[in-house]
Homo-oligomer: A and B are copies of this chain.
Amino acid sequence: RNYSIALIPGDGIGVDVIREGKKVLDTACEIDGGISIQYEQFDWSCEYYLKHGKMMPDNGLEILKNFDSIYLGAVGYPGVPDHVSLWGLLLPIRRQFQQYINIRPVKLLRGIKSPLANRGVEDLDFIVIRENNEGEYSSIGGRMYEGTNMDMAIQNSVFTRHGVERVLRYAFNLANQQGKRKRLTAATKSNGINHTMPFWDEYVQKINKEFPDVKTDIIHIDALCAFFVTKPDVFDVVVASNLFGDILTDLGAAIIGGLGIAPSANINPEKKFPSMFEPVHGSAPDIAGKGIANPTAAIWCASMMLEHFGENKLAKAIMEALQDVLEEGRIVTPDLGGNATTEEFGEQVCRRLREN
């Protein structure tokens, strides 16, 4: 049981949280005994971009291809436009490695308080599957008549049968096998967006036929966002396009206690290419370098990575240790109202992992 991981801490707090995530992984290996992980670290980031005019070397994807997985912090830096930094690193990795499934649990951890009144761990426990390769992030489009009164920009959303079927099949399968209620909620907006979204709805209905035990709701994204707040307890598995999944999962992060908490796994289910694990949060330039970011999301990502490797026992042990520390409430980062550092929190999770 030998795994290779490419570490890309990236920018800002990405560096802080990945450091702690790695410690937790090391501790997991140490207590297990039978596992070993090789790391290689890459400094690809906006800082790298400012030096080299690109986010990663030209053969960056070639290099990453040989790893079992990628553990990424965050990219983004004031002064480097987001669409430059992301289309130069994060989005090509997701796309080239066919990480077409983005798994984002919306699960309230023990010890965390939801900002929703009277909602506890039993109310907030579902999974969002986000399409991660196509849809609204097509990069197709452009601008015309720049500098004149007629200046305009057009962007294409692209939905393909291939792209839509594979994510829906994955989500239906998940609802069928692991869903508590065998219920799939599909986000749409076919009332306002009248080509791609009716197309999406049609395939939801079609793939549903392959999973007759799964009950499906097709809900408009606007209403669905409202329901995440007003009745989060009804969801089981939610499936959404790239943009809608993005929106739902930041909202999901908010209701489970904030962006410091929420993890994300960019999965290539065929394991033909490495999968990538990254917190939902960004590089948070406002607190970068202060060592106070909450590494919970990064540690949760480490657990998801081990689960992806099939190391379910260790994955679970990490989540238990993490939740024990959160529940204990002694070492608390500022985002959750305490004054612990990123490092103190990470080390406490390692300690707990050894003790448990």
**Cα A117 to Cα B190 with chains together (Å):** 33
B250–A139 contact, CB under 8 A?
Answer: no
- The reply to whether the CB of A294 lies closer than 8 angstroms to some CB of chain B is no
- The reply to whether the CB of A221 lies closer than 8 angstroms to some CB of chain B is yes
Contacts of A139 in B (CB 8 A): 194-195
- The reply to whether the CB of A156 lies closer than 8 angstroms to some CB of chain B is yes
Contacts of A225 in B (CB 8 A): 225, 247, 250-251, 254
Q: Which residue of B lies closest to A116 (CB)?
A: B115
Q: Can you tell how many copies of this chain the complex includes?
A: 2
A142–B192 contact, CB under 8 A?
Answer: no
A154–B192 contact, CB under 8 A?
Answer: no
Q: How far is the CB of A308 from chain B (nearest CB, A)?
A: 24
B160–A151 contact, CB under 8 A?
Answer: yes
Number of interface residues of A (CB under 8 A): 68
**Cα A155 to Cα B200 with chains together (Å):** 12
Q: How far is the CB of A131 from chain B (nearest CB, A)?
A: 12
Q: Name which of A76, A82, A189, A253 has the most chain B CB atoms within 10 A of its CB.
A: A82
A246–B192 contact, CB under 8 A?
Answer: yes
B199–A143 contact, CB under 8 A?
Answer: yes
Stretch of A22-30, A83-91, A270-278 contacting B (4+ beta carbons < 8 Å): A83-91
B198–A81 contact, CB under 8 A?
Answer: yes
Contacts of A229 in B (CB 8 A): 115-116, 229, 251, 254-255
Overall SS of chain A's interface: mixed
A154–B157 contact, CB under 8 A?
Answer: yes
Contacts of A159 in B (CB 8 A): 152-154
Q: Which residue of B lies closest to A117 (CB)?
A: B117
Q: Name which of A113, A155, A162, A254 has the most chain B CB atoms within 10 A of its CB.
A: A155
**Cα A85 to Cα B142 with chains together (Å):** 31
- The reply to whether the CB of A59 lies closer than 8 angstroms to some CB of chain B is no
- The reply to whether the CB of A249 lies closer than 8 angstroms to some CB of chain B is yes
Q: How far is the CB of A78 from chain B (nearest CB, A)?
A: 12
Given contacts A117-B118, A226-B251, 15 further A-B contacts (CB under 8 A): A83-B198, A86-B191, A116-B116, A136-B193, A141-B156, A141-B195, A141-B196, A142-B195, A143-B195, A149-B162, A152-B199, A154-B156, A222-B250, A222-B251, A226-B250
Residues of A within 8 A of B (CB): 76, 81-83, 85-87, 91, 113-118, 136-137, 139, 141-143, 149-162, 189-199, 220-223, 225-230, 242-243, 246-247, 249-251, 253-255, 258-259, 282
Q: Give the 9 A-B CB pairs with smallest separation, nearest first.
A: A82-B191, A222-B250, A153-B199, A226-B254, A141-B195, A151-B161, A229-B254, A117-B117, A83-B194
Q: What are 13 of the A-B contact pairs (CB < 8 Å)?
A: A76-B191, A115-B229, A115-B230, A117-B118, A137-B193, A152-B158, A152-B161, A153-B196, A153-B198, A153-B199, A154-B158, A225-B225, A230-B258
